[in-house]
Amino acid sequence: MGYLLVAEAAMAVHFAFIAYVVCGGFLAWRWPRAVWPHLAAAAYGLGVTVIGWLCPLTWLEHWGRTNAGQQGLDAGGFISHYLTGVVYPAEHLREIQLAAAATVALSWLGAALLARRRTAHRPRSTP
């Protein structure tokens, strides 16, 4: 039971992390400093998907499931196990990745424009 709990928790955190990577930049529209942790998360997400870095959450879930007597994640990892071919067709993986990247870029662009507007409307201090 404990192993399965670890696996399920890792899966839930994984889904939350992916949602944060894709949409977390919009938090910076309200809280400008939120762009920095999102930048780190997006860079790590890029490293996992493009460069092929290993994800500790994938390893943890696989470990938990196999020790609980279940089938572990397939060789493609979390995204290929839960998303590709399930949420979207496998042949559209590249388009989904580009849409996620465009969403991140849009959120950062909006955050930069809002930060610029805040700076422009800030009263200047006199010496």
Residue type, 80: S
What string of DSSP letters covers 8-74?
HHHHHHHHHHHHHHHHGGGHHHH-GGGHHHHHHHHHHHHIIIII-PPPHHHHHHHHHHHHTTS----
The tokens for 43 are: 């860079």
Least Cα distance to 18 among 86, 79, 108 occurs for: 79
pLDDT tens by residue, the chain, 127 residues? 899 999 999 999 999 999 999 999 999 999 999 999 999 999 999 999 889 888 999 999 999 999 999 988 888 788 888 888 888 888 988 899 899 999 999 999 999 999 999 888 777 666 6
What pTM value is reported for the model? 0.84
